[in-house]
């Protein structure tokens, strides 16, 4: 048990973490502050000297420079799957465990993927926008059922495998590729190569982490391998797709549509403007990084991360910690 009074332990939660996170820490006796926006490196340097527990999502970057001012920091919680926004090596050197939520948002992301697959196949997004400005355009040309179509899943982890299961329930044929050996679920077929998956698929959906190996994983060369008239979905990381190459493929007609939820550069908060070369391109669904933006996912993420952090503060255990074994 800790001897330091919990009401003296300062918890800083950033990026509009679900209010349940605030309540869980508060109910356990911690001193908690909650902010809607991400913090810059300069702002972190200002606040970290007095912070014991830090909670972030994907837009606050915890650099070595920031951590140099975090002598009181006990733990960092990433209220998401990814932890690439944290300098894990430096955190480990300082004895700061980093926790995340690798399991809590699987269903929410998978459902959005399949929703966008159907919307793209039916051009539903463009039709809806047209109706809002008074255009009635009832056509069947270029619209398809997803039943019988091939969905290629790149990255067959928690989310990718869940997408696979749901897609089969719609009658889709599923193929997948992963750099690690994964057991297929249902009737999913393992492709021998990434290139094979691209060539076979009517829809390609990406579920990979951000790393040096996945930056521009989908570029001009990879898009050229995809079927003419196929579709690309990225609900993983914004750096995985070369956006300019995607725009060119969409405008040329090589790709029939795309669903993009993540971007190389994203606004720091809901108050900041969004810009992308994809704006205005037909049959492109753009969403503001909402793959995990459901009440269920956010509650589960908060419960998973906060419980890990409180357990660590209470007894020093680090189960499922990202940077310590």
Residue 237 is among the residues annotated as catalytic for this protein: yes
Which listed residue (15, 237, 300, 304) is catalytic?
237
pLDDT in tens, the chain (325 residues): 445 789 999 999 999 999 999 999 999 999 999 999 999 999 999 999 999 999 999 999 999 999 999 999 999 999 998 899 999 999 999 999 999 999 889 999 999 999 999 999 999 999 999 999 999 999 999 999 999 999 999 999 999 999 999 999 999 999 999 999 999 999 999 999 999 999 999 999 999 999 999 999 999 999 999 999 999 999 999 999 999 999 999 999 999 999 999 999 999 888 999 999 999 999 999 999 999 999 999 999 999 999 999 999 999 989 889 998 6
Which pLDDT value is given to residue 319?
82
Which listed residue (52, 57, 289, 300) is catalytic?
289
Task: Give the pTM.
Answer: 0.89
Domains of the chain: 6-104+295-315 (3.40.50.720), 106-286 (3.40.50.720)
CA dist 161 and 102 (Å) reads 14
Residue 266 is among the residues annotated as catalytic for this protein: yes
Residue 147 is among the residues annotated as catalytic for this protein: no
Which pLDDT value is given to residue 1?
45
For 67-106, give one letter per residue: b (16+ CB within 10 A) or e.
bebbeebbbbbbbbbebebbbbebbeeeebbbbbbbebbb
Q: 């919307």: which residue's tokens?
A: 119
């Amino acid at each position: 048990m800790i001897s330091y009074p919990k009401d003296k332990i300062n918890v800083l939660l950033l990026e509009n973490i679900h209010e349940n996170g605030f309540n869980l820490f508060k109910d356990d006796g911690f001193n908690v502050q909650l902010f809607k926006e991400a913090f810059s490196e300069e702002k972190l340097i200002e606040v970290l000297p007095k912070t014991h527990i830090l909670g972030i999502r994907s837009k606050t970057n915890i650099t070595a420079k920031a951590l140099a001012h975090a002598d009181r920091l006990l733990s960092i919680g990433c209220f998401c799957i990814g932890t690439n926004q944290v300098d894990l090596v430096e955190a480990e050197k300082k004895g700061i465990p980093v926790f995340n939520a690798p399991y809590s948002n699987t269903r929410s992301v998978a459902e959005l993927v399949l929703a966008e697959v159907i919307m793209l196949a039916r051009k539903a997004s463009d039709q809806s926008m047209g109706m809002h400005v008074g255009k009635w355009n009832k056509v069947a040309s270029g619209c398809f059922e997803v039943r019988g179509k091939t969905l290629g899943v790149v990255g067959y982890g928690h989310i990718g495998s869940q997408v696979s299961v749901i897609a089969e329930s719609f009658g889709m044929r599923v193929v997948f590729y992963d750099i690690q050996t994964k057991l297929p679920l249902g009737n999913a077929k393992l492709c021998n190569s990434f290139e094979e998956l691209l060539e076979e698929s009517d829809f390609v959906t990406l579920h990979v982490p951000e790393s040096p190996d996945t930056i521009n994983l989908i570029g001009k060369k990879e898009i050229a391998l995809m079927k003419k008239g196929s579709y690309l979905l990225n609900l993983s990381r914004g750096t995985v797709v070369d956006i300019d190459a995607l725009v060119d493929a969409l405008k040329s007609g090589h790709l029939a549509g795309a669903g993009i939820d993540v971007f190389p550069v994203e606004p720091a908060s809901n108050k900041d403007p969004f810009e992308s070369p994809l704006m205005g391109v037909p049959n492109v669904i753009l969403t503001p990084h909402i793959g995990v933006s459901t009440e269920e996912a956010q509650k589960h993420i908060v419960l998973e991360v906060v419980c890990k952090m409180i357990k660590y503060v209470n007894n020093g255990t680090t189960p499922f910690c990202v940077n310590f074994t």
